[in-house]
Amino acid sequence: MLQEVAHMNFSDPHGKVGVPRQLVIKKDAASIPDAVSRAGLRLPLVAKPLVADGSAKSHELSLAYDQYSLQKLEPPLVLQEFVNHGGVLFKVYIVGEAIKVVRRFSLPDVSRRELSKSAGVFRFPRVSCAAASADDADLDPSIAELPPRPLLERLAKELRRRLGLRLFNLDIIREHGTRDRFYVIDINYFPGYGKMPGYEHIFTDFLLSLVQRK
């Protein structure tokens, strides 16, 4: 699904949306360093399980700082270039035509100095869970500012068409130091809407709209 975002080459007056470069590894952890080199991916890399089965481990993220540590990862997984984003991501819930955005705390930025001195694999539990809400936190406005509404509406409309989905959510980050450079780092179809504020009314309106169309 992320490839659809990449193929869109999405850009409008409100910003540009892309996908971090990524690589799928299905087996053989020993081959990961060579595969990463051939793909030209830059460290650090975020490692995500390829299949999310609902367990805590399947939602665990790892951050690999050096080539040697890549061999310690457990395929099947997706490797994604890490983009500094101020430690905040935006969960964009799409229910038919409705869009709801909430802030979540995310992985902290990695400085060049930290990268040069760090090694190994650091594991993180479910980063964007409801308990990690950043909606009421005292954040730098440049980090906390939500993505522009017109940009999200156009992006959601295009993804609805390309993916054939009406119920899905996007995890979006803003590249730290920019105002209009966004990355979609994850897409989930039929996500847990219980974490979305006001989901009861939004979901009921969506179901009623389907009935009225018929």
Of the candidates 120, 122, 124, 20, which has an alpha carbon nearest to the alpha carbon of residue 67?
120
Predicted TM-score of the model (pTM): 0.88
pLDDT tens per residue, range 116-171: 888 888 887 655 554 566 676 677 888 889 999 999 999 999 999 999 999 999 99
Phi, psi (degrees; rounded to nearest 5) at 80: -135, 130
Cβ 10 vs Cβ 16: under 8 Å? yes
pLDDT of 56 above 50: no
pLDDT tens per residue, range 59-75: 678 899 998 889 989 89
What residue ranges define each of the domains in the chain, with the CATH number in brackets? 21-82 (3.30.1490.220), 84-108+123-214 (3.30.470.20)
Measured CA to CA, the distance from residue 92 to residue 5 in angstroms comes to 15
Of the candidates 48, 36, 39, 154, which has an alpha carbon nearest to the alpha carbon of residue 94?
154
Cβ 91 vs Cβ 171: under 8 Å? yes
Enter the DSSP assignment of 58: G
To the nearest whole percent, how much of the chain has pLDDT over 70?
A: 91
